[in-house]
Amino acid sequence: MSGSDYPPSPDPSSGQYPPAPPPGPGYPLPPAQPPPFPYPPQAPGGYPPQQYGAPQPYPAAYAYAAPQAGNGMAVAALVLGILSLILSWLLVVDFILAVLAIIFGAVGLSTAGKRGGAGRGMAIAGLILGALTIVLGIIFWIVVYGVITSTCGAYGC
């Protein structure tokens, strides 16, 4: 292609440009001015006018009480006491869990005294369940020993 195949360019000095081609079929003509409804009137400076005024400052923060610290030793005593009672049919496990429940219960009880009673009931419950498990374990050992000795005495071991 040579330069002569192009249409003549408009004369920039006259300010005239050729008209835009008509839109294709099915396309409406663009509006001459934007519709007034979706565009709010512009205030000086190019921003829309303020309708509500300046935002109000946030209120002062309220002072909340510090969350009360829990007593982990008391919780551990209660959990170990419950587990030792549930597993009291296991001969060695129940004594280990019961002793741990008693130890954690005693430490949790002393910690509750320092913290104003937080977890005192759980620590006492862990102590009681640990002691109960030890008593039941001893009774269980006595019954098992009695059955074994009576069986051995009657049938010979």
Q: Which residues have C-beta within 8 Å of that of residue 78, sequence separation ≥ 6?
A: 101, 105, 122, 123, 125, 126, 129
Regarding predicted confidence, which is higher, 59 or 143?
Answer: 143
- Give the integer Cα–Cα distance in Å for 44 and 50: 12
Give residue 29's pLDDT: 62
The pLDDT tens digits of the residues spanning 13-70 come to 666 666 666 666 766 666 666 555 555 555 555 555 556 666 777 777 777 776 667 8
Contacts of 147 (CB under 8 A, 6+ apart): none
The answer to whether residue 141 scores a pLDDT higher than 60 is: yes
Higher-pLDDT residue of 42 and 76 is: 76
Residue type, 123: A
On the CB side of 131, CA atoms within 13 Å amount to 8
pLDDT confidence of residue 123: 95
Provide the 3-class DSSP secondary structure of residue 64: coil
**C-alpha distances out from residue 58 to 3, 61, 62, 86, Å:** 69, 9, 12, 55
Is pLDDT larger for residue 17 or for residue 106? 106
Question: Are 127 and 77 a contacting pair, CB within 8 Å?
Answer: yes
- pLDDT on residue 109: 94
**Pick from 58-67, 87-96, 131-140: least confident:** 58-67
Higher pLDDT, 35 or 103: 103
**The pLDDT value given to residue 4:** 60
Instruction: Give me the phi and psi of 24, to 5 degrees please.
Output: -70, 170
